[in-house]
């Protein structure tokens, strides 16, 4: 409810001078609340968004499991005992026990492999996201700030990479490596995945560089690097963050897909995609070997997608 301005006239009292009679006293109510910045306003909305809170809890849980898997199980994901060949279906009564999800064809604990598999999948997702964000932001900023032939050249380069099917291109690149480590997969996916962020960064920079504070910085003789990284980037980073957080879940799914096709992480790596590929062969005999890692991939991707969607709604004024 808006504050009302109350005006009162003070009558002259005995002993008052003429200058104090008829003075108007204005009561404007409480002082107006200080305007919040974009980031404080976004945080104010995120704290009240159930989608953000649920996804944050899931992401923190997955990150802790990826960094410290020993907190969740003492079993080794590589220890195989053929005596436990498909021994016992998932035992739901033994929480966090090696036989909680049963055993695979080689007698390895599926629960231990699920816990340790989070490290490879999340490392690939986060690594690719950081790489494409840095590369795409730099290319987009250069194209948007300088314009002219620089913008034309970089935009056409972006169009060329956009014309390459993402998974097919990654499949071809990874198929040329004999030893496909986590770093190799990150580099292959980042080599093809920077285009979307580059386009978003270019559009944001073109909008921000026309602002008065950028024009003033140029008039004061600020260097190009200072203008780009001290004035333009902080005000153009919001849409870049939104795209990066949403894309992170997609990169985790891409790694699982490539591992399922046999061109992702090597056979020695413990990853959810590799376990899904091996569980496919025993779908009729032991469906839990396929279902458990598949559910973990789905939960992880869904968590990051929900997180990115909540951040997008908080940072985009048009969606409020």
Note whether 278 and 294 are within 8 A (CB). no
Question: Torsion over CA of 113, 117, 119 and 122, rounded to 10 degrees?
Answer: -150
80 contact partners, CB below 8 Å, separation of at least 6: 106, 107, 108
By residue count, the chain amounts to 320
Q: What is the pLDDT of residue 33?
A: 53
Note whether 28 and 5 are within 8 A (CB). yes
Q: Residue 9: pLDDT band by 50, 70, 90 thresholds?
A: very low
Angle among Cα 185, 287, 274 to the nearest 5 degrees reads 10
Q: Which residue has the higher pLDDT, 185 or 105?
A: 185
Note whether 205 and 211 are within 8 A (CB). no
CA distance 275 to 264: 12
Q: What is the mean pLDDT of residues 279-285?
A: 77
Q: Which residues, in sequence order, are bridge partners of residue 283? A: none
Best CA proximity match to 111, nearest among 264, 296, 299: 296
Q: Domains of the chain, with CATH numbers?
A: 38-319 (1.10.3720.10)
Q: Which of 27-36, 80-89, 236-245, 293-302 has the least mean pLDDT?
A: 27-36
CA distance 291 to 294: 5
Q: What is the pLDDT of residue 97?
A: 57
Question: Torsion over CA of 181, 184, 188 and 190, rounded to 10 degrees?
Answer: 110
Rg (the chain; Cα; Å): 29
* Tens digits of residue pLDDT in 59-117: 999 999 999 988 888 888 877 766 666 555 655 555 555 566 777 777 788 888 889 98
- The fraction of the chain above a pLDDT of 70, given in percent, is 80
* Tens digits of residue pLDDT in 117-155: 888 889 999 999 999 999 999 999 999 989 889 999 999
Question: Hey, is 286 helix, strand or coil?
Answer: coil
Best CA proximity match to 189, nearest among 246, 250, 142: 250
User: pTM of the predicted model, to two decimals?
Assistant: 0.80
Note whether 140 and 207 are within 8 A (CB). no
Best CA proximity match to 264, nearest among 117, 50, 98: 117
Q: Is the dihedral of CA 62, 60, 320, 232 positive or negative?
A: negative
Place of tokens 């090696």: 98
Q: Which of 124-128, 199-203, 304-308, 316-320 has the least mean pLDDT?
A: 316-320
Q: What is the pLDDT of residue 186?
A: 92
Averaged pLDDT of the chain: 80
């Amino acid at each position: 409810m808006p504050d009302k301005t109350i005006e009162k006239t003070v009558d002259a009292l005995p002993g008052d001078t003429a200058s104090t009679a008829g003075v108007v006293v204005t009561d404007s109510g409480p002082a107006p609340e200080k305007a919040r910045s974009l980031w404080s306003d976004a945080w104010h909305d995120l704290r009240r968004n159930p989608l953000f809170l649920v996804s944050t809890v899931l992401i923190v849980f997955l990150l802790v499991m990826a960094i410290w898997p020993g907190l969740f199980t003492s079993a080794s994901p590589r220890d195989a005992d053929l005596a436990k060949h498909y021994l016992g279906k998932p035992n739901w009564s033994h929480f966090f026990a090696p036989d909680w999800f049963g055993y695979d064809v080689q007698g390895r604990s599926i629960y231990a492999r699920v816990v340790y598999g989070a490290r490879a999948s999340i490392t690939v997702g986060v690594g690719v996201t950081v790489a494409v964000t840095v590369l795409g932001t730099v290319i987009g900023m250069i194209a948007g700030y300088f314009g002219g032939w620089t913008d034309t050249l970089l935009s056409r380069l972006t169009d060329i990479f956009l014309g390459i099917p993402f998974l097919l291109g990654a499949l071809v690149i990874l198929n040329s490596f004999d030893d496909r480590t986590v770093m190799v997969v990150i580099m292959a996916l980042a080599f093809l995945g920077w285009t979307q962020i580059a386009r978003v960064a270019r559009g944001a920079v073109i909008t921000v560089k026309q602002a008065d504070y950028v024009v003033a910085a140029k008039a004061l003789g600020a260097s190009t690097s200072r203008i780009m990284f001290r004035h333009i980037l902080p005000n153009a980073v919001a849409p870049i963050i939104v795209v990066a957080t949403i894309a992170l879940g997609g990169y985790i799914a891409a790694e699982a897909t490539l591992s399922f096709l046999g061109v992702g992480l090597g056979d020695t790596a413990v990853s959810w995609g590799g376990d899904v590929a091996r569980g496919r062969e025993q779908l009729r005999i032991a469906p839990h070997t396929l279902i458990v890692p598949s559910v973990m991939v789905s939960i992880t991707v869904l968590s990051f997608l929900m997180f990115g969607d909540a951040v997008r709604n908080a940072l985009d004024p048009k969606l409020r």
